Amino acid sequence: MTSRDSTLRTQGTPEFELLLESAKPPIDGDAADPFGLTGDVDWALLLDLAVEHGMVPLVRRWLEGTGWRGVPDAVRTWLDGRHEENRRRNRLLTIELLALLDRLKAAGIEAIPFKGPVAASVCYGDLEARPFGDIDLLVAPADVRGAMEVMARSGYAPLIPLSETQRAAFLRHRTEYPLQRPARGGIVDLHWELFHRQFCFPLAPDRSRMREVEIAGQLVRTMGNEDQLLMLCAHATKHLWVRLEWIASVAWLVARHAEIDWELAEARAGSLGGLRMLGLGLALAHDLLGSRPPRAPALAESTDPVIAKLVIEVVGRLEDRSAPPEDWLRFYLRARERRRDRAAILIRTAVIPTIGDWRMLDLPQPLTGLHYALRPIRLLGRGVRHLRSGGGDE
């Protein structure tokens, strides 16, 4: 793993440097000179970047910590306004989450919340440190229908209108279902697996390592720190690490939880084919934000050249907003160390029906398996249209 300031050099724009300082977990004696950082800042660009990277709360907190030195009043006012909105949004979603957990528990269903309020509490110890916009709940596959019934009784309705047949097939073949109240409160993503199957990372919480986290005075059961870390790294990989806040979450989780069992994290990642994703997350946290290197032997001594290349590419895209977006499939393939996972990603991408596939054709129950056969044909048709139109994204 590279040392903090030996090999990785950012382009050093004042805005990106300030973003990085804001994202760093506090380390004694390592405070940057606030005036040096805020002196030449293009504030409009900084705010734009802060929003894009989910960093508004951390930027505001960092600037507040500097005594708002050199910060224009209007920037401070704007950040305060966003802080207030973020606080309200996060608190509302937290209350909605806790109410839902109570109802599911009363129905005998264990739901494990992840991301959202849980990630904010576990990583930062502060519900307001990161923005979140929905609620993610994981239930056992056998509990999905029961959970949906509880949610329906609580006023939630599916966001994706599907026929009964489509829904049955959807539940069989997909891994999450979004629901929302008619009053448009938080969207609840009800998961029965953490990641969609095309991603080929079947992480399931290790029941023996579950932990409790206090949220708004209520103890909530969630996955252990090692699984949190794997989940954060895999989730960010799924989204190509385009947000600095995801790197900050990893850095803060590592900084605040010295009790992380690194050998276990490494073993879990290795058994699931996620060692490179974990290594990438830790390398980004280390190289960009000064996170301490892990004490697990394989990760600490990692010489995986692909990780180093991916770090440079991710950082390049983080810094350069005009850089062309990475092809997600290519990134997924490079972020996995096992050949069999790469092959599975390719095959599943080609055959597993998407929501668009389900909705395009409402097949009767006995024929829903045909969606798998139709998926490659749809992909082929899409490719032909793409070529005829001379390129462009679809």
Per CB under 8 A, residues contacting other proteins are 39-45, 47-48, 51, 70, 72-75, 77-78, 82, 85, 88-89, 91-96, 98-99, 127, 131, 133, 154-155, 181, 183-187, 216-218
Residue whose tokens read 């440079």: 312
What are the backbone dihedrals phi and psi of residue 176, each rounded to the nearest 5 degrees, phi first?
-155, 160
Q: What is the DSSP string of 287-327?
A: HHH-PPPP--HHHHT---HHHHHHHHHHHHHHH-TTSPPPP
Q: Which two tokens stand for residue 52?
A: 């894009």
SS3 of residue 280 by DSSP: helix
Minimum distance from CB of 43 to other proteins (Å)?
6
Minimum distance from CB of 289 to other proteins (Å)?
24
Can you tell me the distance from the alpha carbon of 134 to that of 98, in angstroms, rounded to the nearest whole number?
13
Burial tier of 52 (Cβ tally within 10 Å: 0-12, 13-18, 19+): middle
Residues β-bridged to residue 191: 138, 176
Residues β-bridged to residue 218: 215
Minimum distance from CB of 67 to other proteins (Å)?
16
Q: Which helix (H) or strand (E) holds 360?
A: helix 355-360
Can you tell me the distance from the alpha carbon of 199 to that of 234, in angstroms, rounded to the nearest whole number?
9
Q: Nearest-CA neighbor of 58 among 104, 83, 22, 31?
A: 22
Minimum distance from CB of 391 to other proteins (Å)?
30
Of 40 and 327, CB closest to other proteins: 40
Minimum distance from CB of 51 to other proteins (Å)?
6
Of 13 and 154, CB closest to other proteins: 154
Residues β-bridged to residue 221: 212
Of 20 and 75, CB closest to other proteins: 75
Residue whose tokens read 């606080």: 87
Of 95 and 363, CB closest to other proteins: 95
Of 89 and 197, CB closest to other proteins: 89
Of how many residues is the chain composed?
394
Minimum distance from CB of 74 to other proteins (Å)?
3
* Beta strands per DSSP E along the chain: 112-114, 134-138, 157-158, 176-180, 187-191, 211-215, 218-222
Minimum distance from CB of 231 to other proteins (Å)?
23
Minimum distance from CB of 316 to other proteins (Å)?
23
Sign of CA dihedral 369, 358, 182, 176: positive
SS3 of residue 191 by DSSP: strand
Amino acid letter, residue 19: L
Residue whose tokens read 């405070």: 31
Minimum distance from CB of 213 to other proteins (Å)?
15
What letter would DSSP give residue 124?
I
Can you tell me the distance from the alpha carbon of 34 to that of 31, in angstroms, rounded to the nearest whole number?
8
Minimum distance from CB of 325 to other proteins (Å)?
19
